[in-house]
Amino acid sequence: MHCVDMRTEEHVKMSQKATKTWCLRLLPVLLFFISFITYYCSYAILQSYGGTSMSPNSSKSLCGGWLTQKKWESLNFNISRRTQLFLKMEDFFWREHLSKQALPYGIKGNELLLLKVLAITASYQMPANIENLECRTCVVIGNGFAIKNTSLGSIINKYDVVIRLNDAPVRGYEEDVGNKTTMRFFYPESAFYNPGLHNEPNTLMVLVPFKQQDLRWLKEILYNEKRIRKGFWKPPPQIWLGNVGKIRVLDPYFLHHTADRLLQINMYPKTKQKPVHPTTGLLAVFVSLNYCDVVHVAGFGYPSSKNQRYPIHYYGYNTMKSMKNSYHDLNHEAQALKRLEDSGAISYLHPHL
């Protein structure tokens, strides 16, 4: 009887040892499973708050939610959801335009030029398929070197609104920057002579008038008048093959509030001071914040390197040296973008400094 008890006790010990061995073997699997669940939940939360490599599929879930509301509350200035982006004829015919400021922050003194331009272009609407969206996902593609070799093209093409800037090319760079373009912001010195080379047929060509000569240039193009080259820091195209029906003129309201509310710069410095204006990139971000429910950006930011030969664009050969005499305060703009990112108002599609 005593032997049986000994055998039973030994059997119990062996069973306990075997169980302990199996538990130890299963422990790594259990830890891996817990780590996977933790990572997945963390990733989902980060995506909801606006992490990197976000796609419009995930951003759709933000529309109308508390995060969208939080975005507006956190901007620390009274931004209004203004959906009329472009100047229209009724601003001049049906009511007195109350602009008290001249370009680039108002239209005072340029009413006649604008009347002639808008009489030809006529249209001031966004496409109906975008206007009617319950949620608009928008991405602003900067021209910076940071977007090079990111392979973001297919993701960029999925957004409802893709905004590009100035003369940034698309052909040959589709893998990184995509090929969809809803709007292209430009001014005469940054215009392609043939917009069809790097834009889709339905792309809206949005003129950002910084000075009276910009409106005059467009009027001369539209009416085939003699071109006056004086007043430009760089010769604009003398022949412009853009589709008249796709031309829009951005309301200076947006540049005014980009400078005043977002950058808080001195818009009208004394005569001897060099004027500082927002870049078209920061302007496009501000427009998107007014028009879109979700705003993502890519290709923004200048190199932190002090090397003046460092490339600044994903195309061409321009370096930091070319920004020496710029009319823009790049450090100030970088800080503004950082505030927008920290507030959750915008998210980057790629890692950045």
DSSP 137-161: EEEEE--BGGGTT---HHHHTTSSE
pLDDT at 230: 92
3-state secondary structure of 290: helix
Radius of gyration of the chain (CA): 28
**Residue 69 falls in which region: left (phi positive, over 0), alpha (psi -120 to 50) or beta:** alpha
Q: Are strands 183-186 and 137-141 parallel, antiparallel or unpaired?
A: unpaired
pLDDT at 344: 86
pTM of the model: 0.80
Domain regions of the chain by residue span: 1-49, 55-348
Nearest by Cα to 122 from 268, 246, 217: 246
* Tokens standing for residue 289: 């914040």
3-state secondary structure of 6: helix
Nearby residues of 125 by Cβ (< 8 Å), 6 or more positions away? 86, 131
* Tokens standing for residue 261: 């509310």
Cβ–Cβ under 8 Å, residues 79 and 72 = yes
pLDDT at 306: 65
What pLDDT tens digit does each residue of the chain (353 aa) get?
444 444 445 544 555 555 555 444 555 545 444 444 443 343 333 333 334 445 566 556 656 654 555 565 666 555 566 678 999 987 776 555 567 889 999 999 998 999 999 999 878 889 999 999 888 999 999 999 999 999 999 999 999 999 999 999 999 999 999 999 999 999 999 999 999 999 999 999 999 999 999 999 999 999 999 999 899 999 999 999 999 999 999 999 999 999 998 998 877 766 666 678 899 999 999 999 999 989 999 999 866 656 667 788 999 888 766 666 566 677 889 999 999 998 888 999 998 86
In angstroms, rounded to a whole number, what is the distance separating the alpha carbons of residues 242 and 256? 27
Dihedral sign for Cα 60, 65, 69, 74, please.
negative
Q: What is the full DSSP assignment across 309-333?
A: TSB-BSSSS-BGGGGTT-SS-HHHH
Cα 346 from chain centroid (whole Å): 8
Nearest by Cα to 81 from 68, 90, 92, 94: 68
Sole residue written with tokens 């998210």? 347
In angstroms, rounded to a whole number, what is the distance separating the alpha carbons of residues 121 and 10? 95
3-state secondary structure of 31: helix
Q: Which fold has domain 55-348?
A: sialyltransferase cstii, chain A (3.90.1480)
pLDDT at 34: 47
